[in-house]
């Protein structure tokens, strides 16, 4: 499907909708704020339209999806903008310029959705391979045009569409994974980061194949881990553990429920030259924490980096209880004077509530601690100040 051509249709805010927030930079229009008449509902998902306020004054150019709770996403604050190949290349070029200032090698998040002015679109870069996640209807429909612009701007040889995940379901999009440009890599891609080498499976791995967001938090914990025994829970493809070993940790035990992820972690350990100090244990995190406690195992540094326990407001209370439980089970495994790093990628659980749940868990384990560092996603994951969801990642390190 090609990007629609001007002139664009119009959609209108309800009289009680907060027009000021949109004018000040909030990028979403919720379904209960938009006049969803027959004409608006007839627009194809992802269609471009000029958003008007209740007095029919143009406000912005948006994409419309009447089947989503986010019925409108602001594409451009200029209602007269034209979304075409040149517009896409300009947005991608702006995003690329920022990353090229940050990193010497092309391994990073290139596009962080709304925060980079491309709503619902995530692009991670692995050298000359780019993996895009179109989590909004407009981006899914315009995947070919986005891929073409991506190749022109970055010189990428391969563009992969990873159409999986909860966000696509909320947009009414089906899951699909395909190579749009170039050829699929025949093996995992080695990714240099924090002195270690990680192996990214960009076709079959979780999300885009690797999590770039924890890079600065990996580096901080690695600085604490010199000469330490490290336990990395929810290790994925090596996460905190490989960075710790590269910094001189004595040993690392990586725990994950996914055998393929641990296999990639082992390959990364070998590529990093630290395989002799790296061990893995497959299993449920809670079960493994309980088993390690029963075995009397102790570590100098323990990290728990789980998936989102609170992916929505409806799941918040259950998620906070899960974060508390993780802290309660992990704290007894930390040697006196050691460090416990707890992470959350749940945007619904803000920092204060996550931190409080973590502290409760540590206290219920009979331990006390001081917070020595609070971390967030790296600068290739910019935060749109008007959208709390773009600042989803929190990392809190306690010294117990």
- CA–CA distance, 8 with 49 (Å, rounded to integer): 5
Who's near 107: CB < 8 A, 6+ residues apart? 125, 126, 127, 191, 192, 193, 212
SS3 283: coil
Place of tokens 């692995």: 126
- CA–CA distance, 178 with 235 (Å, rounded to integer): 27
Buried residues in 336-355 as b, exposed as e (16+ CB within 10 A): eebbbbbbbbbbbbbeebbb
Name the residue among 273, 191, 300 with its Cα closest to residue 237: 191
The residues annotated with a catalytic role in the active site are 345
Q: CA 378 → CA 190, 197, 219, 228, 395, distances in Å?
A: 20, 18, 11, 25, 11
SS3 385: coil
- CA–CA distance, 282 with 194 (Å, rounded to integer): 25
- CA–CA distance, 154 with 151 (Å, rounded to integer): 5
Give the relative orientation of helices 285-294 and 316-330 as an angle to the nearest 10 degrees. 30
Structure tokens at 127: 């050298």
Who's near 118: CB < 8 A, 6+ residues apart? 91, 92, 95, 111, 139
- Report CA dihedral (379, 380, 383, 389) to the nearest 10 degrees: -130
Write the burial class of residue 180 (CB in 10 Å: 0-12 exposed, 13-18 middle, 19+ buried): middle
Q: CA 192 → CA 126, 177, 210, distances in Å?
A: 10, 25, 12
- CA–CA distance, 234 with 329 (Å, rounded to integer): 14
Structure tokens at 61: 């150019």
């Amino acid at each position: 499907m090609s990007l629609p051509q001007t002139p664009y249709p119009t959609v209108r805010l309800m009289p009680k909708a907060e027009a000021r927030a949109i004018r000040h930079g909030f990028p979403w229009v919720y379904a209960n704020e938009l006049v969803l008449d027959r004409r608006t509902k007839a627009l194809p998902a992802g269609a471009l339209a000029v958003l008007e306020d209740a007095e029919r004054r143009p406000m912005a150019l948006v994409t419309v999806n009447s089947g989503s709770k986010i019925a409108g996403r602001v594409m451009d604050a200029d209602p007269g903008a034209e979304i075409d190949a040149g517009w896409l290349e300009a947005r991608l070029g702006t995003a690329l310029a920022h990353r090229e200032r940050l990193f010497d090698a092309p391994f990073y998040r290139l596009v962080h959705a709304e925060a980079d002015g491309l709503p619902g679109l995530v692009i991670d870069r692995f050298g000359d391979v780019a993996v895009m996640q179109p989590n909004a209807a407009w981006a899914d429909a315009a995947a070919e045009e986005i891929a073409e612009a991506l190749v022109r701007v970055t010189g990428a040889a391969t563009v992969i569409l990873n159409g999986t995940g909860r966000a696509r379901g909320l947009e009414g999009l089906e899951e699909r994974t395909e190579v749009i440009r170039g050829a699929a890599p025949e093996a995992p891609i080695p990714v240099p980061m924090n002195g270690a080498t990680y192996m990214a499976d960009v076709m079959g791995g979780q999300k885009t194949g690797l999590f770039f967001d924890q890079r600065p938090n990996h580096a901080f914990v690695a600085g604490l881990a010199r000469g330490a025994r490290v336990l990395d829970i929810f290790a994925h493809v090596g996460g905190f553990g490989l960075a710790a070993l590269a910094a001189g940790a004595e040993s690392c035990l990586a725990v994950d429920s996914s055998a393929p992820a641990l296999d990639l972690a082992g390959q990364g350990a070998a590529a990093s030259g630290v395989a002799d100090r790296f061990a893995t244990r497959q299993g449920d995190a809670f079960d493994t924490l309980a088993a390690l406690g029963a075995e009397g195992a102790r570590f100098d540094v323990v990290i728990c980096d789980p998936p989102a326990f609170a992916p929505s407001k409806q799941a918040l209370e259950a998620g906070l209880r899960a974060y508390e439980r993780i802290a309660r089970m992990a704290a007894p495994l930390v040697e006196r004077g050691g460090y416990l790093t707890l992470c959350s990628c749940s945007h619904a659980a803000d920092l204060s509530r996550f931190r409080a749940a973590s502290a409760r868990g540590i206290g219920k384990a009979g331990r006390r601690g001081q917070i020595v560092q609070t971390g967030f996603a790296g600068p290739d994951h910019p935060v749109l100040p008007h959208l709390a969801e773009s600042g989803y990642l929190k990392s809190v390190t306690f010294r117990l």
